[in-house]
Structure 1
Amino acid sequence: MESGVSDSSRSAGEAPAPADKLEIQSADIVCLAVRPDQYPPSDLPEIAFAGRSNVGKSSLLNLLTGRRQLARVSSSPGKTRTINFYLVNDRFRIVDLPGYGYASISREITGSWGKMMEDYFRSRPNLKAAVLLVDSRHEPTPQDIQMYEYMKYYGFGGLVVMTKADKLTRRELARQQEEIRKALSMDPGDRIIPVSSLKRTGKEELLETMRQVLGL
């Protein structure tokens, strides 16, 4: 199924969307999993999103998909304790990985989250890329650094999203990008995309990057 609007459903006089532009027209959750045997079939390309609790992951996924309640935004960090699979345009999946780094969550639960992510990275042949979310207002945490190293170890690093970019001025944002690059030991070819779910900035750049890495 193509992601663009078909000629038969397009209004008269409406210009077709560019063939090389990713437009998300449908997105639905299809699976919540804690073990590999609960994953959906590995028949579609996937892109995974990871970040510490309360970094703004749910808001970002809602922004990308145009669905306000696709991923539930919670005021209680650490609420997501499963790997959530979203089917997008019937062509690929967005995978929401459990948040990490929230102090009040027990060590036992945090350890189980780590195993869930390790199982996913190791066993998913259709995973094309992973995105690390970091809060633009703060330096990357030790857990952020560890997660980025972990992603690169499995060959899925190279893309970082700075959330809540509207909280900084342009000068502050540019300075913070350099600090994040240094803290994560990012390679010259690794990308940082500032995004504001509130101001809806950075969405198109991230969608274009997703289109490229997913091979759509």
Structure 2
Amino acid sequence: MSEPLARAQYRLAAHTPAQLPPDLGHEVAFAGRSNAGKSSALNALCRQNALARVSKTPGRTQQLVFFQIAPHEDRHLVDLPGYGYAKVPRELQAHWQAFVAGYFERRQALRGLVVVMDIRHPLKDYDRQMLGYAVRRALPAHVLLTKADKLSRGGAANALQAVRRELKAEFGEGVGVQTFSALAKQGLDEARAVVEGWLQL
């Protein structure tokens, strides 16, 4: 069975628009508040332990980090800066916000957005902001409710239904949602199918 995402490899990190790779091909962006499990989700989806850096220090990702899906030069996963902790200087937060907003408004290669949320604390302001970027561009979005192993099966199902209702009410039909656990290997196939479809792998 082909595993295209397992061929992901680090390409570059961009702190300014000039550092972005050429605006060609297909990209899927990953966003999430600090400590929502974004790096762990990326690593699990790509069957790698250290592709994205997992850190105990929130907000370590301070650039747009591009992972190329070899052998394709124009297929990328894009790790967006984690967000939501006041330890980051205000000027840097403002820089990220402007950079990420511009990326969403102008990047033609962007084909979809994955928003990673801790299932116990979903749909914070940042999550809604990211989904809003995608919806305004008519880009598909998909929510991973991570750390689902922290809840009982019934609790996770209830949380999923509640988030699904809220997403539909706020954003319409363009946003998918699923439960996910990198630790318990839950929801990996479903999420991979979404991302690979957007990348046309």
1:130 matched to which residue of 2?
113
Distance in 2, matches of 1:89 and 1:206, equals: 19
User: Is the deviation greater in 196-205 or in 180-189?
Assistant: 180-189
Offset, 1:186:
4.0
Give the aligned partner of residue 182 of structure 2. 197
Cα contact 1:25–1:89 (8 A) shared by 2: no
Normalising to structure 2: TM-score of the pair?
0.90
Q: Quick one: which of 65, 69, 72 aligns to 1:84?
A: 65
For structure 1, the residue ranges without an aligned partner over 5 or more in a row are 1-16
Instruction: Name the structure 2 match of 1:114.
Output: 97
Rounded to whole Å, the distance in 1 between the matches of 2:166 and 2:90 is: 25
User: In the alignment, is the contact (CA less than 8 A) between 2:28 and 2:199 conserved in 1?
Assistant: yes
Aligned to 1:8: none
Deviation at 1:24, TM superposition (A): 2.6
Identify the residue that residue 10 of structure 1 maps to in structure 2: none
One-letter amino acid of the structure 1 residue matched with residue 88 of structure 2? I
Q: C-alpha distance in 1, partners of 2:163/2:8?
A: 31
1:65 pairs with 2:50: no
1:126 Cα deviation (Å)? 1.0
Letter in 1 for 2:44: L
Structure 2 vs 1, CA of residues 189 and 155 (structure 1 numbering), >3 Å: closer, same or farther?
Answer: closer
Q: Which has the larger radius of gyration?
A: 1
Contact 2:122/2:145 (CA < 8 Å) preserved in 1?
no
2:84 and 2:99 map into 1 onto residues whose CA distance is 15
Does residue 215 of the first structure (1) align with residue 196 of the second (2)?
no
Q: Is the 8 A contact 1:139 1:179 kept in 2?
A: no
Paired residues of 1:42 and 1:125 also in contact (CA < 8 A): yes
Q: CA separation of 1:76/1:121 partners in 2, compared to 1, >3 Å: closer, same or farther?
A: same
Can you list the C-alpha shifts for 1:155-206, whole angstroms capped at 9, x where unaligned?
Answer: 2243111111111112111211122234442424531121111011111111
Q: Hey, what does 1:139 align to over in structure 2?
A: 122
Q: Which runs of 5+ in 2 are unaligned?
A: none
Q: What RMSD in Å do the two structures reach over aligned CA positions? A: 1.7
Residue in 2 aligned with 1:9?
A: none
C-alpha displacement of 1:87: 0.5
Q: Which moved more, 1:119-128 or 1:185-194?
A: 185-194
| Residue identity opposite 1:160 in structure 2 | V
Counterpart for residue 162 of structure 2: 179
Instruction: Find the aligned partners of 1:112 and 1:182 in 2 and give their Cα distance.
Output: 33
> Which residue does the alignment assign to 2:15?
34
The verdict on how the C-alpha distance between 1:43 and 1:157 changes in structure 2, with shifts beyond 3 A counting, is closer
1:206 matches 2:191: yes
Match of 1:158 in 2: 141
Structure 1 counterpart of 2:29, which letter? Answer: A
Q: Higher mean Cα deviation, 24-33 or 72-81?
A: 24-33
